[in-house]
Structure 1
Amino acid sequence: MSIQRIETGARMSQAVVHGSTAYLAGQVAKGASVTEQTSAILAEIDRLLAAVGSDKTKLLSTTIYLSDMSTFAEMNAVWDGWVAAGHTPARATVEAALATPEFKVEIVVVAAI
């Protein structure tokens, strides 16, 4: 079975397709708030899913990393408006130190194609 890599760099690919599954790298975005970062991240996830022939209705699992769990409701307000009703993935949300202090949210998704 072949492996397709999308937007491959020296350290990582933004997406990897194996069989009928797409694995997206953790997505982060600049922005002053969790709301802004989450919105930008979800737009990038939409773009990457489209690039591999998928969309948010085919999400299998999601892991969301927050630099501060007190922003859980703020992130969920954006997430709930984006995720497709009836197509919610298995999901975990955890607090973690992210790559740099400017990042407040990182989202990783796995989707079917």
Structure 2
Amino acid sequence: MTDIVRIEPGPRMSQAVVHGGLVYTAGQVALGAPGASVADQTRDILSRIDALLATAGTSKEKLLTTTIWLADMSTFAEMNEVWDGWVAPGHTPGRATVESKLAAPQFTVEIAVIAAV
């Protein structure tokens, strides 16, 4: 039986779950969201993802897939500018980006990843 490790578990969800050699993050939003630009929210989220991956014993070089939700698709280029500076060259994951109403109006970006450990 393979162990399941929950990172930062809460009553509703864990921020990440490790199982079977993979880490799955919950959708991450910016902690400093109110008034922050899409670029600032994206930087905040990617920093949070870096920390979760490190806690799981892996890194962005082992990303397999990413899902990005934008509250407004017109901010796609702004988000991508930050993403392109963060993602590891030669290790880009599969990715989907969609427009969606997010959990609260102050959130403009949400990102979830799956990575190998």
TM-score, length of structure 1 as denominator length: 0.98
Match of 1:55 among 59, 76, 79: 59
> Structure 1 residue 40 and structure 2 residue 44: aligned?
yes
Partner of 1:17: 18
Identity percentage over the alignment?
Answer: 68
CA RMSD for the aligned pairs? 0.6
Cα distance in 2 for partners of 1:26, 1:54 equals 18
Partners of 2:39 and 2:5 lie apart in 1 by 32
Match of residue 109 from structure 1? 113
Find the aligned partners of 1:41 and 1:6 in 2 and give their Cα distance: 16
Q: How far apart are the structure 2 equivalents of 1:27 and 1:59?
A: 15
Q: Give, as a single letter, the amino acid of the residue that structure 1 aligns with 2:44.
A: A
1:84 matched to 2:88? The reply is yes
Structure-2-length-normalised TM-score = 0.95
Amino acid at match of 2:90: G
Gaps of 5+ in 2: none
